[in-house]
Amino acid sequence: MVHVAILGFGTVGSGVAEVLTQNGGLIDRRVDDLVRLKYILDVREFPGSPYADCFVKDFSVIEQDPEIDIVVETIGGATIALDFTTRALKAGKSVVTSNKELVATHGYELLNLAREHGCSYLFEASVGGGIPILRPLTSCLAANELTQVTGILNGTTNYILTRMIRSGLTFDQALKEAQDNGYAEKDPTADVDGHDACRKICILAALAFGRHVYPDQVPTQGIRGVTLEDVAYADSVGYKIKLLGRAIRQPQGKVCAYVAPHLVPGENPLAGVEDVFNAIAVTGNAIGDVMFYGRGAGKLPTASAVVADVIDIAKDLKKDRHNGWEEGAPDLVVSSDILSSPWYVRAQCTADQARLACGEIHLLARAGAPAGEAAFLTPPMTEPQIRDRLQGMEVGSLFRVLA
C-alpha cells in the first residue's frame, strides 16, 4: 500500500483529497497497488469533513511515520512549505507540489535533496494548473533543442482581463470573482503584478534550458497599467492584450526572460485564450511550434496534475526521475532590452508628432477618444530605442506587440 499525506487543505489540497477519493478505484488499478490518504495537515479545523480521521496538526507525525511514502505540499509560499518539504525529503519521502514560489526559488536545492535521499520532487501542477506541460517539455520534447517558451501563465489575470473586456466588470469586481473561484493567490498582488507568472516562466526556463533562473533575475510587469482604452485600441485592429511570460534561448547558454503585457495579433492562437485558461507555446528545433492549452488554475484541474504526479511516484517509489537542472548564475539572464519588436503606444500627441518620433506608424482609433490622444503601432525596435524616441512625450501606455 502507498500512503499519502496532504499539507494544506485549501483549494488545491482539498481537490487532491477529492480526486484521490473519487477516482480511487482507477488510481489503484493504474498504480497496481492501493493508494491511500492517511493524513491531512492544516492549521484550521474542518468540522464535519469526510476526512475527519485524517487531520493532524503536527508535521512531525507525518515526518516520523514510516508508512508515509508521498507528501503533497499545497500550503504555498516559501517559508513553512520549505521547512516541511526539506524535512519530508530528508526523511526519504517523495514530495509533490503545486507551489511554484517554492520551486522557482528553491527548486535546484530541493531537487538535489530528493536525489540525495533516493526520493522524488515533482511539481507538474506548479505551471499551467491542470495543463500537462512540464513532463511533456522534458520527455515528449526531449529530442529538441528548445529555443523559446511563451505563455499565458496566470489564470487570475487572464480571467480579469476577459471579464473586464467581455462583461464590462471593473477590475475589482473581476478580481473578486477570480478569488471566489479559487484562482487567485493568497495575496492576489502576486497575480496582478506578474510575480506568479514570473515564477512560472522561471520553472519553464529551467526545464527548457537546463539552468535555474531565479525570479529576481526576471523583469516583471503586471496588468495594473492596462486600461480599457488600451483594450479598445487593440481591438480596433483585432489584437488582444495578454500578460505573457517569455523565455528565449540566447547564445553561450544565456537566457532572456521577462513578464509583461503584450498586444497579441488575432491570428496568434494565444489571442483566443480566455478566462482562467492558460496556454504555453514552445518552439523546438525539430518539432517547430507546439502549444499546450487548458485550465490554468482552480481546485480540480490543479488537483488533476498533482494526483498525476502522485500516481507516477506510487508506480515506482524508488525510481530516480532525474528531473533536475543545473545551478543558476548571476549573469545567466540577459536583459530583454536586446529584443526588437513592434510597440503599442498611447500618448498625448498628434499623429504628426508620433510619425516624427517613430517613423512608419500604424494609427489606431477608438470611439470616444479625447482630443490630443494618439495610439499607434511602431515598426520593430528595442525598448531603449522606443523609450529614446518617446522622450518628452506624455506616454500613457507602452506595450510590446508579439511579433
> Which residue lies nearer to ligand NDP by CB, 304 or 397?
304
Residues 57-76 that bind ligand NDP (CB under 6 A): 74-76
Q: Which stretch binds ligand HSE (CB under 6 A): 178-186, 235-243, 247-255, 285-293?
A: 178-186
Helices (H), 210-330: 228-236, 299-315
* 8 Å CB contact between 295 and 130: yes
Using CB under 6 A, count the residues that bind ligand NDP.
28
Question: Which does residue 154 bind out of ligand HSE, ligand NDP, none, counting CB within 5 to 8 angstroms by kind?
Answer: ligand HSE
Using the contact rule CB under 6 A, the part of the chain among 6-14, 217-225, 336-344, 358-366 near ligand NDP is 6-14
Q: How far apart are the first and last CA of the chain?
A: 52
Query: What does DSSP assign to residue 59?
Result: H
- Residues in contact with 165: Cβ distance below 8 Å, sequence separation at least 6, in sequence order: 228, 231, 235
Any contact of residue 342 with ligand HSE (CB under 6 A)? no
Specify which residues 122 forms β-bridges with.
Answer: 96
From candidates 85, 156, 323, 397, binder to ligand HSE by CB under 6 A:
156
Please give the angle made by the CA atoms of 300, 273 and 222, to the nearest 5 degrees. Answer: 90
Q: Does 233 bind ligand HSE (CB under 6 A)?
A: no
Q: In sequence order, what are the residues at sequence separation of 6 or more whose Cβ sits closer than 8 angstroms to the Cβ of residue 31?
A: 2, 311, 314, 315
> Which residue stretch of 54-62, 107-115, 149-157, 204-212 sits at the interface with ligand HSE (rule: CB under 6 A)?
149-157
d(CA 358, CA 82): 49
Question: Does 230 help bind ligand NDP (rule: CB under 6 A)?
Answer: no
111 binds ligand HSE, rule: CB under 6 A: no
Q: Which of 200, 240, 242, 299 is labelled catalytic?
A: 200
Query: Which residue's CB is nearer to ligand NDP, number 41 or number 146?
Result: 41
- The dihedral over CA atoms of 289, 376, 239, 395, expressed in degrees to the nearest 10, equals 90
Q: Is the dihedral of CA 260, 129, 72, 317 positive or negative?
A: negative
Could you tell which of ligand NDP, ligand HSE, none binds residue 182, using a CB distance below 5 to 8 A set by kind? ligand NDP
Q: Does 149 bind ligand HSE (CB under 6 A)?
A: no
Min separation Cβ 297 and ligand HSE, Å: 4
**8 Å CB contact between 272 and 125:** no
Hey, what amino acid is at 65? D
Specify the DSSP element, H or E, that contains 399.
strand 394-401
> According to CB under 6 A, which one of 129, 151, 194, 301 is a site residue for ligand HSE?
129
Q: Which does 75 bind (CB under 5 to 8 A by kind): ligand HSE, ligand NDP, none?
A: ligand NDP
Q: Is 191 in the site for ligand HSE (CB under 6 A)?
A: yes
- Strand pairing of 343-348 and 362-364? unpaired
Q: Quote the cell numbers at residue 249.
A: 534561448
User: Could you say which residues in the range 259-298 bind ligand NDP, by CB under 6 A?
Assistant: 297-298
Q: C-alpha cell of 51?
A: 476526512
Contact between residue 1 and residue 36 where contact means Cβ atoms under 8 Å apart: yes
Is 200 assigned a catalytic role? Answer: yes
Of 94-102, 217-225, 267-275, 284-292: span binding ligand NDP (CB under 6 A):
94-102
CB 276 within 8 A of CB 297: yes
Contact residues: ligand HSE, CB under 6 A: 129, 154-156, 183-185, 191, 196, 296-297
Contact residues: ligand NDP, CB under 6 A: 7-13, 41-44, 74-76, 80, 98-101, 125, 129, 182-183, 185-186, 297-298, 302
Instruction: Tell me which residues are annotated as active site.
Output: 200
